[in-house]
Amino acid sequence: MSLFKQLLLAICLFLVIAFTGSFMVSLESSRSQYVNQLRSHAQDAATALALSLTPSIDDPAMVELLVSSIFDSGYYASIKVVDLQSNDIMVERKAEPDPGGVPAWFIHLIGLEPAGGDAIVSRGWQQAARVEVISHPMFAIGKLWQSALGSLGWLLLCGAASAGLGALLLRRQLRPLEAMVEQSHAIARREFISLPEPRTPELRRVVRAMNQMVEKLKALFTEQAERSERLHSESYQDSLTGLSNRRYFEMQLNARVSNLEEARAGYLLLLRVQGLAGLNARLGGQRTDQLLQAVGEQLRRTCASFPETNDLISRSRGGEFAVLAPGMVHEDAVRLAQALEAALLSLHETGASDISPVACIGLAPFSPGDAPQALLKLADEALARAENQPTPGWVCLEQGAAAIAGDSQHEWHTRLEAAFSSGRFELFLQPVVNAQTTTEVLHYKVISRLLDDHGNALPAGRFLPWLERFGWMARLDVLVLEKVLERLRSHDQVLALNLSAATLADARSLHRIYELLSQNTALGPRLIFEIGEEQLPAQATLEQVTRRLHGLGFALALQRFGGRFSMIGNLSHLGLAYLKIDGSYIRSIDQEQHKRLFIEAIQRAAHSIDLPLIAERVETDGERQVLVEMGIEGIQGRLSGEPAPWH
């Protein structure tokens, strides 16, 4: 029973006890008073009747008349006149008064007995007769019954008023308790909220203690997040330009090129500032550093217009920079090279015209499954050709890009439109398992694939770039969600489904998703939505989406986490189901110490808010063993199982 009901019941019970006690005290007092009144009433009647009978004691008719007149004028059980000499009853009148609606149980409960009185009738100096009068208590019982009904009515009125006012008062006073319950639930969802302190001293101390605990947890998480962010910057960021360093570039190159399942065809761009050693000797290290910083800033600004780069801009070493652009087509690669060439020529406007750099650009295409070293060799060859031109500029090599060249925009538009019309998108499931046992399935990741004309399933990396180019990603998300919800009704798996940035930015598609989810709230515990780190919307939008999904009973998680580690401080109040670490930080973690240090930092920060971690693209048992030692809960990748059709 809730505390509110207990207190309300206690108030009602107190009122009943108070009424019962008050009534019993009043009853006992009234009962004693009524007994005295009945006795006095009977005695007065007997005395008056005796005096009236003295002159007429020898006249039987007069005696009977006087007795009848007295009997009929009051509440008497009996009146009789007894001859003292013969002990015979001269006249007697008796009756049983009407209870007047008083219930028998109340009469029995009161227990008010009749009271009597007597008097002597004289004949001169002799005692002739005795008058005996017994007053009936029914009149007193009737009064007590009316008093009891009045008290009961007053009790009910007071009880109803007290219950209503008490309920309002209790709800108001217990509101901080409900807020603390919600606060505890928020902590369980890894959300940290503080409550206003109530006026009640006892509750104020409890709320203050809860708020202190929440602040301590937030401070602990913030400290761990800042420490992890510093480690990330030291390990994967170039201190001079603020871009990612060569180590991070090689990690992303291996992750985004060699992966056949998720990798996208695209381009690798290498940029080299010529004569850097001579500039350094002639102008000094400080001016040269300023030049490299300016080049890095121009790279960042120019690539901001090409979403395929996804912040994958790195400074390899010295005056060499690299841009990885998965999903970029040839036309966009050429535009990027031309834009960079024009931007570098404008560096004299920064006030360093005497050291305006001469830079060369090499472009090389890649396809999923290409060897990273072969791609680097091809890009270096393009860079060398650009340097050997009469006028340094850019060169794009199309060797090995047959797959990209053969994919025309018109062909893909027709193919994808037909796929939407005929429903040729198939759902595949990949298990995500417990890192320790590898047999316990935590959930299944839903992967969409496109069936070609021969019935072969094309991986997502082949068609997703075209869907993004045509603006159809939200269309695919809605279609996949409809299929998942339909199949979930006859299956018992827990699934994880991706939401794209296009869907989160499209109010119409998002409304359609909320509408589908509101019609299937019973499936909430078995469906988790995932958002890629590179596709996260603004913080306010993300919080709104999270609240809406939680309100419908569905959970939210992040995948491919690690590149934007600075945002981990904003995760504490989102109530995420889990965090999936990007596979580039997992690959060969048993051999590369810097990755292990970084994952340990993430684990400490996530553990402080009880946020489960899952590692993506785990391929070897050595990687799994290291992850288990660091406390990672789940793994996803070839080691746990390849994607399989959902039958």
What residues does CATH 3.30.70.270 cover in the chain? 246-401
Question: Residue 322: left if φ>0, alpha if ψ -120 to 50, beta else—which one?
Answer: beta
CB-based contact 523:488 (threshold 8 Å): yes
What string of DSSP letters covers 135-151?
E-THHHHHHHHHHHHHH
**φ/ψ (deg, to 5) at 351:** 100, 10
**Max avg pLDDT among 309-323, 401-415, 566-580:** 309-323
Amino acid at 504: L
Give the tens place of pLDDT for each residue, 282-338.
767 788 888 888 888 888 888 888 887 877 899 888 888 999 988 888 888 888 988
**Mean pLDDT across 496-503:** 92
Query: Which residues, in sequence order, are CB contacts of 293 under 8 Å at separation 6+?
Result: 240, 241
Amino acid at 436: Q
pLDDT-derived band at 575 (thresholds 50, 70, 90) equals confident
Dihedral, CA atoms, 234, 235, 241, 242, nearest 10 degrees? -70
Instruction: Let me know the angle formed at the C-alpha of 561 by 557 and 564, rounded to the nearest 5 degrees.
Output: 120
Eight-class DSSP state of 438? S
Hey, is 1 helix, strand or coil? coil
Q: Does the pLDDT value for residue 514 go beyond 90?
A: yes
**Mean pLDDT across 370-398:** 84
pLDDT of residue 73: 73
The β-bridge partners of 476 are none
Hey, is 114 helix, strand or coil? coil
pLDDT of residue 280: 72
1-4: long-range contacts, CB 8 A cutoff, minimum separation 24: 3/174, 3/177, 4/167, 4/170, 4/171, 4/174
pLDDT of residue 178: 76
601 or 2, greater pLDDT: 601
Hey, is 89 helix, strand or coil? strand
Query: Which overall architecture, per CATH, does domain 246-401 show?
Result: 2-Layer Sandwich (3.30)
Give the tens place of pLDDT for each residue, 145-188.
888 788 778 877 877 887 788 778 777 777 777 777 777 777 66
135 or 31, greater pLDDT: 135
Q: Which of 510, 557, 570, 266 is nearest to 401 (CA)?
A: 266
Q: Give the other-Cβ count within 10 Å of 31's Cβ.
A: 17
Sign of dihedral through CA atoms 195, 197, 199, 202?
positive
How many angstroms separate the Cα of 323 from the Cα of each of 263, 367, 582?
A: 16, 16, 19
**Mean pLDDT across 258-287:** 77
pLDDT-derived band at 457 (thresholds 50, 70, 90) equals confident
Cite the DSSP H helix spans in 54-102: 60-72
What residues does CATH 3.20.20.450 cover in the chain? 423-645
CB-based contact 174:200 (threshold 8 Å): no
Q: Does the pLDDT value for residue 412 go beyond 80?
A: yes
CATH code reported for the domain at 3-160: 3.30.110.200
CB-based contact 325:264 (threshold 8 Å): no
Query: Which residues, in sequence order, are CB contacts of 644 under 8 Å at separation 6+?
Result: 428, 429, 430
pLDDT-derived band at 87 (thresholds 50, 70, 90) equals confident
pLDDT-derived band at 353 (thresholds 50, 70, 90) equals very low
**Mean pLDDT across 121-129:** 79
Q: Pick one of 1.10.260.30, 1.10.287.3510, 3.40.50.10610, 3.20.20.450 as the CATH number of 423-645.
A: 3.20.20.450
Q: Which of 84, 87, 90, 85 is nearest to 61 (CA)?
A: 90
Global pTM exceeds 0.75: no
Q: What is the chain's mean pLDDT, rounded?
A: 82
What residues does CATH 3.30.110.200 cover in the chain? 3-160
